[in-house]
Amino acid sequence: MSRANLGKDPDDVAAMFDGVARRYDIVNDLLSLGRTKAWRRAATKIIAPTPGMKILDIAAGPGSSSEPLFKAGASVLSTDFSEGMLAQGRKARPYLSFSKADALNLPFEADSFEVTTISFGLRNTVDYPKALAEALRVTKSGGRMVIVEFSHPTWRPFRILYMSYLMRALPAIARKTASNPDAYIYLAESIRAWPDQKGLATAMQGAGWSSVTWKNLTFGVVAVHSGIKG
């Protein structure tokens, strides 16, 4: 898969992530110009994990998003639909609990988790409104969903520069560093096709989440959306 669209084939997406799993964390840090860890710290602060809190981390990949939640004492279940990502996660972070799960058909009972979260994975689902509804189903009443996702920079001159980086510099860097550079070209294009901050907030509300807010990181390169299950 080399061209992004919002009608993605799940098998293609899973195979793509299988292929980049081994170096996923390293290449992401490089391509984000070292901002990945700062974004995860900001998201962790918003989630505010506490000992014993039941958290479902959807599309967790090798567990880099789950790790700070686990270290805060939360009970975290890390899920992904890529076998390669799960295998890499179990190897790199054997102390985390990994389970295969499709964001569009979560194998959990309703009202199971205090927090559901997904980092940089929602845009890779074939039907993200359905993924939002599934997350709502398995979240307890009064619980929250926290979404960390690439978004649209709010300052127009920077937005133009950023989009140029995505489509020109990022693929060039990926070709020199990534085992599957086409995967990162796809990721760049998927970011361009993704809704802006208000658009995602509207989709969350449409799926049943209330009190939806977002916080921009790095001038809106990334946004952390939060919603509450009423």
Q: Within 13 A of 28's CA, how many CA atoms are on the CB side?
A: 20
10-228 CATH: 3.40.50.150
The whole-number pLDDT of residue 24 equals 67
The whole-number pLDDT of residue 3 equals 43
192 — pLDDT class (breaks 50, 70, 90): confident
pLDDT at 19 over 90: no
The whole-number pLDDT of residue 29 equals 73
pLDDT at 94 over 80: yes
31 — pLDDT class (breaks 50, 70, 90): low
Q: Are 51 and 72 in contact (CB under 8 A)?
A: yes
The whole-number pLDDT of residue 28 equals 65
The whole-number pLDDT of residue 27 equals 63
Any idea which of 28-32, 69-73, 136-140 has the lowest mean pLDDT?
28-32
User: Which string of b and e fits 59-95 if b means at least 16 CB within 10 Å?
Assistant: bbbbbbbbbbbbebebbbbbbbbbebbbebbeebbee
The model's pTM: 0.89
In the block, which residue shows the tokens 């993605």? 8
The whole-number pLDDT of residue 221 equals 93
Mean pLDDT across the chain: 89
- Residue, of 180 and 7, whose pLDDT is higher: 180
pLDDT at 18 over 80: no
Instruction: Give bridge partners of residue 75 from the DSSP assignment.
Output: 54
The whole-number pLDDT of residue 131 equals 98
6 — pLDDT class (breaks 50, 70, 90): very low
Per domain, the residue ranges of the chain are 10-228
pLDDT at 198 over 80: yes
- Residue, of 200 and 22, whose pLDDT is higher: 200
The whole-number pLDDT of residue 168 equals 79
Q: Are 69 and 55 in contact (CB under 8 A)?
A: yes
pLDDT in tens, 96-113: 999 999 999 999 999 999
